[in-house]
Amino acid sequence: MIGTSAHPESTLVERVLAVLRERPWSAAELCHHVIGLPGAPAMVCERVAIALLGADPRVRQIAGGRWGLVPEVQGSPMLDECAFAVVDVETTGMRAGGSDRITEIAVVVLHRGRREVVFDSLVNPGRPIPPAICAITNITNDMVRGAPQFREVADQVLAALGGRIFVAHNARFDWGFVTAELRRARDLALDGPRLCTVRLSRRLVRGVRSCGLDNLCRFFGFQNGARHRAAGDALVTAELLHRLLVLAREEGARTIQDLAAIETRRMTSARRKRVATPTPPRADSCPEEMG
């Protein structure tokens, strides 16, 4: 913390600060699991949290009403200071830890509204691409035959990702494949913060029935001339992220911690009900863990 400040000093407050260093907590979670008031009503929990933490300059309420540490204490960088590595991979299938491999990867850096492709390459997967996948991506076995294997581009991928926030649409899918390839190529595993634009869209975008990439592009009026190609999808995902950052700031987000809190917060009952309503499936719809 910069400058002189005063804050309450107590064993209870220190216990609360310890758990807030891991992630933001709601007043109910703090009361039930840390403060020692299991079963306390929500209104009581809110009053207790305000009484205990409201005057503490190390703590503030963030998006969704949760309590979190201020950036100087938590070490969470400000959004305006962050560079985001927006990643898209095309693959031979869905099994990152099995026999499937990356066939194309692109990394687009988003920093203060500017988008730039810093890496884009076809990848020789070392196995045939199934015809159904070829039909979706328009990446053929002939196209990747002369492409580098992942181990040959691993250092360039690491350089593109280094020091930046990993972002992808269905981040678990892309993160899983990049991690699996790096493990095979360099015996390394990715580490660090990551954000999923599917999850953020579900919390921030109102009036959209599907958070698949095609539907969000239609909703916002984005143009993607290279759908299901790594650079095309990474560029439009970076454009989507830029729009989501604007919406997140409107909800008070200032740091990566704030953004992560939005991504992980529970959706309102009305929104859960709307999403659960059966609708015709869309071609771009998929679970969050799939790409």
Tell me: the pLDDT tens digits for 250-291?
998 988 888 988 998 876 544 544 443 333 444 444 444 444
**Quick one: 49 and 121 in the same domain?**
no
pLDDT of 2 above 50: no
Residues 59 and 131 in one domain: no
Instruction: Examine residue 279 and state whether it is found in any structural domain, yes or no.
Output: no
**Domain membership flag for residue 3:** no
pLDDT for residue 115 is more than 50: yes
* Same-domain pairing of 114 and 255: yes
Chain CA centroid to CA 74, Å? 19
pLDDT for 190 equals 82
Mean pLDDT to the nearest integer, 144-165 = 94
Whole-number Å distance between alpha carbons of 58 and 192: 24
* E strands in 21-174: 59-61, 67-69, 84-91, 102-111, 114-122, 165-168
Which CATH number does the domain housing residue 63 bear?
A: 1.10.10
CA atoms within a 13 Å half-sphere pointing along the CA-CB vector of 263: 24
Share of the chain above pLDDT 70, in %: 85
Is 137 in the same domain as 244? yes
If asked whether residues 198 and 156 sit together in one domain, one would say yes
pLDDT digits (tens, 9 = 90+) for 39-98: 999 999 999 998 888 877 778 887 678 888 775 445 567 888 889 999 999 999 999 989
Residue 1 within a domain: no
Q: Which of 197, 203, 284 is nearest to 241 (CA)?
A: 197
Let me know if residue 37 belongs to a domain. Answer: yes
Question: What are the two backbone dihedrals, phi and then psi, of residue 164, each rounded to the nearest 5 degrees?
Answer: -120, 160
**Phi–psi pair at 91, nearest 5 degrees:** -140, 170
Question: What tens digit of pLDDT does each residue of 177-208 get?
Answer: 999 999 999 888 887 789 999 999 999 999 89
Q: Give me the pLDDT at residue 269, please.
A: 45
pLDDT above 90 as % of the chain: 56
The per-residue pLDDT for 53 is 85
Please check whether residues 65 and 194 belong to one and the same domain.
Answer: no
Is 167 inside any structural domain? yes
Among the candidates 74, 109, 129, a domain finishes at 74
Residue 268, Ramachandran bin (φ over 0: left; ψ between -120 and 50: alpha; else beta)? beta
130 and 164 assigned to the same domain: yes
228 classed as catalytic: yes
Measure the CA angle with vertex 226, ends 221 and 232; round to 5°.
80
From CA 66, how far away is CA 23, in angstroms rounded? 10
Residue 157 has pLDDT above 70, yes or no: yes
Whether 61 maps to a domain, the answer reads yes
Q: Is the pLDDT of residue 3 over 60?
A: no
Q: The CATH number of the domain where 222 resides is what?
A: 3.30.420.10
Looking at the structure of the chain, the number of domains it has is 2
Q: What is the mean pLDDT of residues 214-223?
A: 94
User: Do 95 and 234 reside in the same domain of the chain?
Assistant: yes
Same domain, 177 and 65: no
Nearest CA-CA partner of 130 in 139, 143, 121, 122: 139
Domain annotation covers residue 168:
yes
Residue 166 and residue 59 in one domain: no
Amino acid occupying residue 109: V
Considering the domain architecture, whether residues 64 and 91 belong to the same structural domain is answered as no
128-138 burial, b for 16+ CB within 10 Å, e for fewer?
ebeeebbeebe
State the catalytic residue, choosing from 32, 33, 111, 228.
Answer: 228
Kindly state whether residue 283 falls inside one of the protein's structural domains: no
Mean pLDDT for the stretch of residues 24-31: 91
**Which residues constitute the domain of residue 59?**
11-74
Count Cβ atoms below 10 Å from residue 33 Cβ, excluding itself: 12
Reduced to 3 states (helix: H, G, I; strand: E, B; else coil), residue 114 is strand
| Joined tokens for residue 123 | 């990848």
Same domain, 88 and 143: yes
pLDDT of residue 78: 81
Q: Give the whole-angstrom CA distance, residue 181 versus residue 97.
A: 9
